[in-house]
Amino acid sequence: MSKPPQRFLKGPSHDDPPAAGAAGSGQEGMSATETARYISEFSAELSYLAREAKLDLLAYLLDMARLEAGRLLQAPEKD
């Protein structure tokens, strides 16, 4: 289940301007789906790094976070 990181992801920062369309719409930042996708991708990369450093428990926990984020991405969206 280990794979090398594909790329480094840049997460949202408090210094970043709000996303287009977010101003005045009552939404700020990323949607739940975008957040889950980001967590899924980034936790996979962190898990790989943890396994390379022989931090097996940490890698396992990061894999669980990745799997949970993936499960949320596959679940039908609730209104």
Q: With respect to residue 6, please indicate whether it lies within any of the assigned structural domains.
A: no
Q: With respect to residue 57, please indicate whether it lies within any of the assigned structural domains.
A: yes
For residue 27, the SS3 value is coil
- Helix ranges (DSSP H) in 53-74: 56-74
User: How many domains are contained in the chain?
Assistant: 1
Q: With respect to residue 53, please indicate whether it lies within any of the assigned structural domains.
A: yes
> Stretch 62-66: mean pLDDT, rounded?
98
Q: With respect to residue 19, please indicate whether it lies within any of the assigned structural domains.
A: no
Q: Cα dihedral sign for 59, 3, 49, 35?
A: negative
- Name the residue among 10, 72, 14, 15 with its Cα closest to residue 45: 10
Structure tokens at 25: 């719409």
Q: Is the pLDDT of residue 34 over 90?
A: yes
Q: With respect to residue 60, please indicate whether it lies within any of the assigned structural domains.
A: yes
Residue 28 pLDDT grade (very low, low, confident, very high; cuts 50, 70, 90):
confident
The residue that leads in pLDDT, 36 or 9, is 36
Phi/psi at 12 (nearest 5 deg)? -65, 145
What one-character DSSP code corresponds to residue 12? Answer: -
Taking all residues of the chain, what is their mean pLDDT, rounded to a whole number? 79
Q: With respect to residue 14, please indicate whether it lies within any of the assigned structural domains.
A: no
Residue 20 pLDDT grade (very low, low, confident, very high; cuts 50, 70, 90):
very low
67 lies in which domain range?
32-74
Residue 69 pLDDT grade (very low, low, confident, very high; cuts 50, 70, 90):
very high
